[in-house]
Structure 1
Amino acid sequence: MQSFLSDIGLALLVALGMAWKTGWTLVLGFSISSILQAIVSTKSVSERLGKGTAKELAFATAAGAASSSCSYASAAIMRTLYKKGAALTNALAFLFASTNLVIELGIILFLLLGWQFMAAEWIGGILLIAIMSVVVKLTYPQKLAEKARQHEETEGGHQHSAEPLSGDTWRQRLKDPEAPVRISQNFLMEWSMLWKDLMIGFLIGGFLSVFIPDSFWQAIFFSNTSEWIKLPLNAIIGPLIAIVTFVCSIGNVPLAAVLFASGASFGGVLSFIYADLIILPLLDAYRRYFGWKMAAYIGAVLFATMVIAGIVMDVIFTTLGLVPSEAPDIQRELTSFAVDYTFWLNLIFALPAGWMVWTGIHNKSQHHHHG
């Protein structure tokens, strides 16, 4: 009994470690989404990202890489971009880039899994966007996509005001006296929609890392089979496991380390990491944002893209002899707290987060539309 209680304590500590590692990125991502919703006009987004050209795709990728967001926050930004006129390929490119090409994710991969995974994540992020753009262009459902763009979100607690802030440019709209209140209300709504999903995800990740033995993962990932069979199966199994583990962007790296240490292939672990965008809470968020048919389409496109990218990256790194041979002690990494960059970033970002929550609650009665 004492051992069981000790394991529960360890699982909770691992979950807390996941939340601690991702805290500041969530604040940053939700803040970017809130600002975009308040100041970006439909016309400007349509002109910059509305055609789906290669130049626009590159711009969306660069913007996503600069956003440093967790997958939940990135999905919120993607929804904002798409509903304000961005082409689907550009919106999804932003989504991939903001969860696979960001600096903090690379740092955590380097610290927990080694430089090979960091390099594969960044190179694979570019590959994901290239594959996705081809898949979407070949399968694009025009009527469904336009209907999804107009889909009303009725389950998020309340709708954002459709009235734009005053000003012809984003700088002028940002100077509107109403801007801080609008941004804070948007920020509060994002948290109100997704905080339960985040909490469940961290708890599942923590308990899986403690209570599931290595032998189980070895069986799931066919560790003792031929590499030619293991390669495609692991790339498919990785995203399937990610779907039901609920753990978002940076938060799924610790579990990825557990999987790699337990016998999952390099490509299978990569496809698992890529698949933070199709976990069940996010698929449900896509449903709320766009309707269930469009959510199913987006989920299918993302899944196919992740599987293909995982296989390709595994082949490349195996051919070059770059697949790491040892895995780290992930539980020790997540249960060791220190005054490091994560501590200072969480401390810094807690200040604007607290201010926006307080402002949003204080001015809640001023919100224009309530569900």
Structure 2
Amino acid sequence: MDLILRALSMAFGMGWEILWPLILGFTLSAVVEAVVSRQQMSRLLPDDRPRSIVKALALGAASSSCSYAAVALARSLFRKGADFTAAMAFEMASTNLVLELSIIMAVFLGWQFTVAEFVGAPLMVTFLVLLFRRFLRRKLLDEAKLQADKGIAGRMEGHATMDMSVRGGGSLLSRLTSPEGLTAISHYFVMDWASVWMDIVGGLLIAGALAGWVPPDFWQSLFLVNHPVIARIWGPIVGPLVAVIAFVCSVGNIPLAAVLWNGGISFGGVIAFIFADLIVLPILNIYRKYYGPRMAGFLFVTFYAAMAAAALLVDLLFTALGLMPQQRNALVVEATIAWNYTTWLNILFLALAAYLVWRFVRTGGVPMLRMMNRPEAMQIH
């Protein structure tokens, strides 16, 4: 019982510390989504040339951080004519270049990791494009397209197709503060929370359990702490494998990344672990349903290679530039609530969240929430 309470205490403590950054991140993400239309996305990604890949990164950064929604939307883009490589680049950006992820990383791990994420994600996509150009065969792509066109639904399919972007004349500020704009922001805010709350809670619980139960010696042995040169290479290799079996994705894997960092994994290992939210076991199963088993295996191998290579390169680059964190003091705390800036900010942002939820309910959001996994019911324009 003491061990369980200690794990829960750590999970609650970490959750309390990141509550206001989460609300802020999801609010900013909702604002961006409210002004970015999804109708023309597939037309903007016709091929795998640098221009299209850059657009894919920008569109992904403006989308939801939910891994399942990103996977579903990438499949939808592919079915509507987008290039498969560009769609996968969009998918990677949707979970690695979004605002809420960067804010939570800064709180939990420090600014160096946030910068590393924004440097590493484009590198990862570049490696993926090169791997696809070298190894992706037309026959396999045709098989994947045939399977994708069957329209087998997956988790967050409806949420991925939801489009409430604000159109019309006037300035951007006037559109966002209009009744339609505020409604769109509230709907995206609640839908995004509904998409990832299980991952966030699961990540906090797993992180609390590992922090409270696993002795430091185990982590140091697993991550080869006593062999610094080998550990630098081993970290990006083992990091994604830990993510695959941890089942946690999206922003929910950041608390666990903090535990791994404190436990001794290399800087590049943390980055690779965070990158790997798109190859966790449940999502690999969705790839199998969407594109067939052969393409699912191809995506796992190429994603894994791109993630590990990009993370290792970031590790070497940050070491050369002297940007490597000198201490392993990521935020892993037990439950403590005091009248400090964290508490006041939590109260302020909880009030903002309450307003957005209230507007969501008042504008017909609850029936939509029930339809998040039904794509045919979420075609909103």
TM-score (norm 1): 0.76
In 2 relative to 1, CA 304–25 (structure 1 residues): closer, same or farther, beyond 3 Å?
Answer: same
1:204 to 186, 203, 206: 206
1:283 to partner: Cα distance: 2.6
1:251 to partner: Cα distance: 2.7
Counterpart of 2:102 in structure 1 is 106
1:189 to partner: Cα distance: 8.9
Secondary structure at 1:332 match in 2: coil
Structure 2 gaps of 5+ residues are 169-181
Alignment of 1:19-30 (within 5 A): 20=19, 22=22, 25=25
Counterpart of 2:56 in structure 1 is 60
Deviations 1:97-153 (A, max 9, x none): 233233443333333333322221111112111111111222223213312431322
Partners of 1:95 and 1:158 in 2: how far apart? 14
146-155 or 349-358, larger mean C-alpha shift? 349-358
Partners of 1:298 and 1:336 in 2: how far apart? 44
Partners of 2:308 and 2:144 in 1: how far apart? 23
Partners of 1:292 and 1:357 in 2: how far apart? 40
1:218 to partner: Cα distance: 0.9
In 2 relative to 1, CA 46–98 (structure 1 residues): closer, same or farther, beyond 3 Å?
Answer: closer
Contact kept in structure 1, 2:203 and 2:253, CA below 8 Å = no
Alignment of 1:280-359 (within 5 A): 280-332=281-333, 338-339=342-343, 344-345=348-349, 347-349=351-353, 351-352=355-356, 356=360, 359=364
Q: Could you tell me which amino acid in structure 2 is paired with residue 215 of structure 1?
A: D
Are residues 1:75 and 2:79 paired? no
Partners of 1:32 and 1:259 in 2: how far apart? 32
1:132 to 125, 128, 134: 128
Are residues 1:84 and 2:80 paired? yes
Alignment of 1:1-371 (within 5 A): 1=1, 3-14=2-13, 16-17=15-16, 20=19, 22=22, 25=25, 40-41=38-39, 44-67=40-63, 69-140=65-136, 141-154=140-153, 156=155, 171=167, 196=198, 199-227=201-229, 229-332=230-333, 338-339=342-343, 344-345=348-349, 347-349=351-353, 351-352=355-356, 356=360, 359=364, 361-362=366-367
1:46 to partner: Cα distance: 3.6
1:237 to partner: Cα distance: 0.3
Contact kept in structure 2, 1:185 and 1:360, CA below 8 Å = yes
Partners of 1:185 and 1:239 in 2: how far apart? 33
In 2 relative to 1, CA 202–29 (structure 1 residues): closer, same or farther, beyond 3 Å?
Answer: farther
Partners of 1:315 and 1:339 in 2: how far apart? 38
Partners of 2:117 and 2:156 in 1: how far apart? 35
Partners of 2:190 and 2:101 in 1: how far apart? 25
Partners of 1:138 and 1:87 in 2: how far apart? 16
Q: Percent identity?
A: 34
Q: Could you tell me which amino acid in structure 2 is paired with residue 150 of structure 1?
A: D
Counterpart of 2:172 in structure 1 is none
Partners of 2:149 and 2:336 in 1: how far apart? 45
Secondary structure at 1:250 match in 2: helix
Contact kept in structure 2, 1:112 and 1:333, CA below 8 Å = no
1:57 to partner: Cα distance: 1.0
Contact kept in structure 2, 1:28 and 1:349, CA below 8 Å = no
In 2 relative to 1, CA 103–134 (structure 1 residues): closer, same or farther, beyond 3 Å?
Answer: same
In 2 relative to 1, CA 200–280 (structure 1 residues): closer, same or farther, beyond 3 Å?
Answer: farther
Secondary structure at 1:251 match in 2: helix
In 2 relative to 1, CA 34–243 (structure 1 residues): closer, same or farther, beyond 3 Å?
Answer: farther
TM-score (norm 2): 0.74
Secondary structure at 2:206 match in 1: helix
Secondary structure at 2:333 match in 1: helix
1:295 to partner: Cα distance: 3.0
In 2 relative to 1, CA 294–356 (structure 1 residues): closer, same or farther, beyond 3 Å?
Answer: farther
RMSD of the TM alignment (CA)? 4.3
Contact kept in structure 1, 2:152 and 2:290, CA below 8 Å = yes
Contact kept in structure 2, 1:248 and 1:277, CA below 8 Å = yes
Partners of 2:325 and 2:277 in 1: how far apart? 22
Counterpart of 1:176 in structure 2 is none
Partners of 1:171 and 1:132 in 2: how far apart? 34
Secondary structure at 1:77 match in 2: helix
